[in-house]
Chain A
Amino acid sequence: MIVCVAVVGHQNNPLYLQSFTEADDALKLHHVVHCSLDVIDERVNNPKRNAPALNETFLGLLYPTENYKVYGYLTNTKVKFIMVTTDLDVKDADARNFFRKFHAAYVDAVSNPFHVPGKKIASRSFGARVSTIVKSFGSGTTA
């Protein structure tokens, strides 16, 4: 189950962060997402290590912490997507698929002429769309 998704801007500032848990651990998820930025920095700033993955947007599992697993994704415009899940076994393909859909939703949201680039995403339709994507995660619809 995905418990949290986040969009983080160029200056490592949160643009969108939504948690999907019943429990009141939104703050903890904020911490988890914030700390994961260190791993993204490490992976992005170490091009030698990631030489074969130059054009790879999917960053994979960033780190497991407590009972969460944090996955990352970096768009070409250096906007970071972060997904936190409690699933024990996450297939790479599922995670990739999720991020692909999420990216599409993000692109649509920032293409809104009323959206100012670099500002937080406040669009409700984006939120609704993200909820749908989150719900469909891991349900076998890998299409």
Chain B
Amino acid sequence: MEDYPEELRTPPLSLVSIVGSVIQGRNTKLVVILVQTQAGDELSEDVTVALRKRAEIDSKHLVVLIERDEMEWTKSLNKSVLKLPLNLLLFYFFLKLSFALFFFMCSLEVCLITCITFCIERLTTAFAELCTTYYKDEGRRVKARIEKRNFSSVELSIRYCFKVAVYAEFRRDWPEALKFYEEGIRVLREMIGTSTRLPPTQRLVEVKAVAEQFHFKIATILLHGGKVVGAITWFRKHIRSYERVIGSSEVAFLHWEWFSRQFLVFGELIETTSTTVPDTLSPRFGTADNALTEWEFQPAYYYQLAANYLREKRYALEFSSSSVSLTEGVNGLPESVMPSVYVGQYVRLFEQGDTVAVLPLSDTEYTSYALSEAERFQDSYEIIALFRKAYESFQSLGATRMASACSGGMAIEYYAAGDFSNAKQLFDGVAGLYRQEGWATLLWENLGYLRECARKLKSLKDFIGYSLEMAALPLFSGSGQGNSENRSKNGPAGSPTISSRELIQQEVIDILERKHASENTYDEFDLHLMEESTHLDIDQISPLRIVLLASVAFHDQSVKPDSAMLVSVSLQSHLPCPVMIDKLEVQFNQSNCNFVMVSAQEDYSASNPHVQIPSLTLFTDKWMRLTHEVKPGQSGKLECLAVKATISKRLVVCCQAESPVSMEEFALWKFEDQVEALPMKDNVLAFSGQKLIQVEEPDAQVDLVLDCPGPALVGELFTVPVTIFSKGHAVHSGELKINLVDAKGGGLLMSPREAEESESHHVELLGVSAVTMENGSKEEVDSIRKIQHSFGVVSVPTLCAGDSWSCKLEIKWHQAKSVMFYVSLGYSLDSTEEAALHRLNVHRSLQIEGKIPMIVSQQFLRPFRREPLLLSRIRSSSDDDKKSSLAFNESNMLILSARNCTEVPLRLHTMTIAPNDDGKQLCSVQQISGISNEYAVIAPSEEYKGIFSVNPQTISSSFCLGEICLSWSRDSSIGESQDSRVIMKERLPEVHIEEPPLVVTMECPPYAILGIPFTFHVKIYNSTSLLQEIKYSLVDSQNFVFSGAHNHAASILPKTEHIVSHKLVPLGSGSQQLPRITVTSVRYSAALSPSASAATVFVYPSEPKFNLEKGHSATDACVS
């Protein structure tokens, strides 16, 4: 300020003083804002004093704004003293501020911003204080008047209350605001009956309008203060005080409109404050602990009621409009009516020349004005919007019934507004819930609307459907005898009674029969355009089940094709009047089973075969039971699909057939207290009857023969001939399925481990060879489709009746196993596609044993009367599974015996030993005796023996001699090629080959003659390079006398032979045991004694007379 020249300082000061003088005496305060350029500038005392003195400015109301910058703009703001109404001042200030802020931001003078902010705070405080003081003063002033009852009318008192409350609200004194609002509304309530200032109708309108204001204020304050419970309780009170103040019936619509608005506004308030149920509230809603209920916390509840009351308004308006138009006709509507400046009052402007006067209205004038105003609005859409809001909210809350009620409300409004398709859709949705829970009366109302919607939409089918359902509804016992006048409340259908049910049914019949149908009925449905019949489909979930229910049960469980069986068809209807059925058509999935029943009264000349029944009349709640005989033609499933009833010639009701066993009761009739009849007379059938039956396959007239020649032998290619004889059926697209299964169970023909290791099977199906009887074409052989190890599919050529076809299955056994052999033939009777679905099957099975043909055993022998000392045999005598020991470089005998284990004679073609590669050089194997001819025949359980000489050329502890190869075939297969021979191989066990240190050889003539002495030599050969000391002993034999030592010892030089000789004289003839000699090696402590057979000689009584050759063969035989 000091920067300014002295003369410039004065004007603002004088301005302030002028302003100060102007506002003096008024309830106006002045705030001065000084803007200083520099912070250092001290406001001189005299300026402050001058300011305070001239304009009585409090120090608090002098705000100093410091600005350092010397920009031009500051000048404009400099020392401006503003005397403006407070609000305007604030506005101006903020306008300036925003500009200043913008500028400061540009010059980045941050410190200034903080300074400004500080100043604003000060300003705010100053203004707030000023406001509070002002409103407090004003409030106190008005309050004093109320307290002193210093007013001329009640209206003024209410006005004062409102004023005080609003002032209190301004200074955030909520309790006081609330108190005065409540006081105001209390006085207002009293005014209803007392004030006579306005005519009664308008008075009521005014009171309500004011009450609405008060209520809104109170509710808002309570809700903003978080007092939800208080707000709701207040609302209840508010509603209770005004719900019966309807006024005259002519203007009742005004009341309902107002009433509905209360709910709407409160609902919106609740919604916007997003209230929750306070935790402090007792959870026991609706009891003494907590008078509130859950829904009162939901805006949807208020919306729903608002919609309800708005609907009430619509009804009242309709009533008022009709009565006014009836009584007055076209009356003079007062012109230029408008809302007055006062809340809830209406006036008429009266113009006369230049002067405009405001005239009060009479109640009649007001009523017609209000009526004309109200008629301009389409309430229906408002109601629908409210219901929709409530519906969505309730739906999300899970209150389905309440939501349905809202949905129903919407539908009724759509119906009233003429939007029938929307109405129908909504009604349909609601009807579902009522059907499910069995609320027959509610459903009745719903269906009544739906029926009318269908009528309006010209949908005859729907109309008939809804009408029949209505007619078949159970009556609720408690429903009163409604009068038809109250249709607005009960819907177009009126109250449900027996007579109305009968009427509805009759109406449908009349429409169908075109009987005394009035012209407008024709128009309604364009009946003359629709000559064809109407179809109604009733399935298991259809609501029309109560109209017609068809229960179908077969009397049998299964049946052969072409044989007759009985089927029961039972029909039930809940329609109140008897239903005459003209024609009853029962349909099956096999169309040839369909049958038609015709009432004898009707004259049907249909070409279809039909059954005439004297009367097909369905009586209320009674089962009509019909039994008929059907003959299924095809095998497979036979199911009753539908029962079609033709009623009054034009209505075809197609009712899905239901099995009695799975028939469900309909929810609506389930709860009726009545005797329930069973659909079938037979109790068993009534509870367990089925609408479907299995028709068995016809008996196959084809024979399948499996021929088994006996047990199969392991290794051979076993053939099983399969023959198909047609005994009456032609075989088309036949297929033979072959399956091999382990007879002992387990299914698979291999052990799991084997399956892993190799793909080999114990039993394998190798192939199929077809043998065609007529022509030997090879095509059939190629028709083998698929052969697996245990499974095969073979296609069978087309066979005519009487033909036969056969094939041979080749199976090979790898192991002796018993196998179940299944063969099934599937075929169809002709090659058409239809027949392909009904295939006939013939099954045969056979158990085949697999046997091992021969068991081969082997035996090693020493050469005759030559005994090598095999030390390993002596030492490891304890071993049970010891290997055979063979002497090195000695000829060893191997006897192989093959035993026929089967029950058929076998031919043995060859028996050889195939040494492995090493064995060939290291060991020479020679066959000594074998099959002399082409083959040897072995009878069952006989043995064949082959003799081999084995001369090992190496010393080995485990030597593999090789494999035995047997080639065999069945003896019966005469003229078979070599292919039928089976090679059977078996490994020879490993042997131990060692060099014997001593070899003992006995020499003795081939035979002896009684009494003639002969010499018996025992040669002991020492094959070692050591001196061997031996002992030997000879045991006496009673058939011989001998000369020589009984016991003796000898030393044998290396690689030399020691001979012990005895002279023997046989004393008895026949096969005699020689004296037993035991040779013991001292070094090895091993004793050797020849076997009993080796120490036997045949003694002839006298010199035999035969040539030498024969004698030789006799020895051979003896050996073998």
Separation of A126 and B434 alpha carbons in the complex (Å): 26
The digit string for B462-485, where 1 denotes a CB below 8 A from any CB of A, is 000000000000001111101100
Separation of A120 and B296 alpha carbons in the complex (Å): 32
Quick one: closest B residue to A46, CB to CB?
B283
Which secondary structure dominates where chain A touches chain B?
mixed
Expressed in whole angstroms, the minimum distance between the Cβ of A2 and any Cβ of chain B is 14
- From A18, A42, A56, A88, give the contact of B294 (CB < 8 A): A42
Contact B673 A34 (CB under 8 A): no
Separation of A119 and B477 alpha carbons in the complex (Å): 12
Separation of A66 and B480 alpha carbons in the complex (Å): 22
B684 at interface, CB cutoff 8 A: no
Separation of A54 and B262 alpha carbons in the complex (Å): 37
B490 at interface, CB cutoff 8 A: yes
Given the known A-B contacts A61-B287, A116-B673, are A27 and B489 also in contact in the complex, defined by CB atoms under 8 Å? yes
Expressed in whole angstroms, the minimum distance between the Cβ of A31 and any Cβ of chain B is 6
Tell me which residues from 77 to 116 in chain A have a Cβ below 8 Å from any Cβ of chain B: 88, 92, 115-116
B68 at interface, CB cutoff 8 A: no
Quick one: closest A residue to B406, CB to CB?
A35
Separation of A1 and B308 alpha carbons in the complex (Å): 22
Tell me which residues from 39 to 98 in chain A have a Cβ below 8 Å from any Cβ of chain B: 39, 41-43, 49-53, 56, 58-67, 71-72, 88, 92
Contact A120 B673 (CB under 8 A): yes
A133 at interface, CB cutoff 8 A: no
A-contacting 9-mer, from B397-405, B602-610, B895-903: B397-405
Separation of A43 and B309 alpha carbons in the complex (Å): 27
Q: Which of A16, A26, A50, A52 gathers the greatest number of chain B CB atoms within 10 Å?
A: A26
Contact A35 B405 (CB under 8 A): yes
Contact A67 B402 (CB under 8 A): no
Given the known A-B contacts A31-B442, A38-B399, A92-B287, are A63 and B296 also in contact in the complex, defined by CB atoms under 8 Å? yes
Contact B285 A60 (CB under 8 A): yes
Expressed in whole angstroms, the minimum distance between the Cβ of B288 and any Cβ of chain A is 4
Contact B401 A35 (CB under 8 A): yes
Contact B673 A24 (CB under 8 A): no
B969 at interface, CB cutoff 8 A: no
A61: which B residues are within 8 A, CB to CB?
285-287, 291, 293
B408: which A residues are within 8 A, CB to CB?
31
Separation of A25 and B441 alpha carbons in the complex (Å): 12
B699 at interface, CB cutoff 8 A: no
B4 at interface, CB cutoff 8 A: no
Contact B480 A26 (CB under 8 A): yes
Band of interface residues on A: 35 or more
A63: which B residues are within 8 A, CB to CB?
286, 293-296, 301
A13 at interface, CB cutoff 8 A: yes
Contact A14 B401 (CB under 8 A): no
Contact B399 A19 (CB under 8 A): no
B495 at interface, CB cutoff 8 A: yes
Contact B673 A30 (CB under 8 A): no
B672 at interface, CB cutoff 8 A: yes
Contact A13 B438 (CB under 8 A): yes
Quick one: closest B residue to A59, CB to CB?
B286
Separation of A31 and B495 alpha carbons in the complex (Å): 14
Separation of A37 and B436 alpha carbons in the complex (Å): 14
Contact B287 A119 (CB under 8 A): no
Contact B438 A43 (CB under 8 A): no
Separation of A63 and B236 alpha carbons in the complex (Å): 12
Contact B438 A19 (CB under 8 A): no
Quick one: closest A residue to B282, CB to CB?
A52
Contact B439 A119 (CB under 8 A): no
A18: which B residues are within 8 A, CB to CB?
478
Expressed in whole angstroms, the minimum distance between the Cβ of B46 and any Cβ of chain A is 73
Contact B401 A37 (CB under 8 A): yes
Separation of A31 and B284 alpha carbons in the complex (Å): 24
A141: which B residues are within 8 A, CB to CB?
none
Separation of A63 and B483 alpha carbons in the complex (Å): 29
B305 at interface, CB cutoff 8 A: yes
Separation of A113 and B455 alpha carbons in the complex (Å): 47
Contact A14 B445 (CB under 8 A): no
Expressed in whole angstroms, the minimum distance between the Cβ of B1004 and any Cβ of chain A is 113
A9 at interface, CB cutoff 8 A: yes
Separation of A115 and B672 alpha carbons in the complex (Å): 11
Expressed in whole angstroms, the minimum distance between the Cβ of B181 and any Cβ of chain A is 24
Expressed in whole angstroms, the minimum distance between the Cβ of B635 and any Cβ of chain A is 43
Contact A64 B293 (CB under 8 A): yes
The digit string for B796-812, where 1 denotes a CB below 8 A from any CB of A, is 00000000000000000
Separation of A15 and B437 alpha carbons in the complex (Å): 11
Separation of A65 and B294 alpha carbons in the complex (Å): 13
Q: Which of A12, A60, A119 gathers the greatest number of chain B CB atoms within 10 Å?
A: A60
The digit string for B557-588, where 1 denotes a CB below 8 A from any CB of A, is 00000000000000000000000000000000
Contact A27 B293 (CB under 8 A): no
Contact B439 A30 (CB under 8 A): yes
B363 at interface, CB cutoff 8 A: no
Contact B445 A27 (CB under 8 A): yes
Separation of A63 and B405 alpha carbons in the complex (Å): 15
Quick one: closest A residue to B400, CB to CB?
A38
Expressed in whole angstroms, the minimum distance between the Cβ of B662 and any Cβ of chain A is 20
Separation of A69 and B413 alpha carbons in the complex (Å): 25
Contact B287 A60 (CB under 8 A): yes
A119: which B residues are within 8 A, CB to CB?
671-673
Separation of A30 and B400 alpha carbons in the complex (Å): 16
Tell me which residues from 289 to 317 in chain B have a Cβ below 8 Å from any Cβ of chain A: 291, 293-296, 301, 305, 308-309
Contact A26 B495 (CB under 8 A): yes
B667 at interface, CB cutoff 8 A: yes
Quick one: closest B residue to A24, CB to CB?
B486
B515 at interface, CB cutoff 8 A: no
Quick one: closest B residue to A118, CB to CB?
B671
- From A12, A19, A42, A58, give the contact of B437 (CB < 8 A): A12
B58 at interface, CB cutoff 8 A: no
Given the known A-B contacts A27-B445, A28-B489, A63-B296, are A35 and B402 also in contact in the complex, defined by CB atoms under 8 Å? yes
Would you mind naming 6 contact pairs between A and B with Cβ atoms under 8 Å apart?
A: A26-B441, A38-B402, A50-B284, A60-B285, A63-B294, A67-B243
Shortest 10 CB-CB contacts between residues of A and residues of B? A61-B286, A60-B286, A13-B438, A60-B287, A38-B399, A49-B283, A92-B288, A119-B673, A18-B478, A17-B478
12 other A-B residue contacts (CB within 8 Å) besides A27-B441, A39-B295 = A11-B438, A13-B670, A16-B477, A19-B480, A26-B479, A38-B398, A38-B402, A52-B283, A56-B284, A60-B287, A115-B673, A119-B673
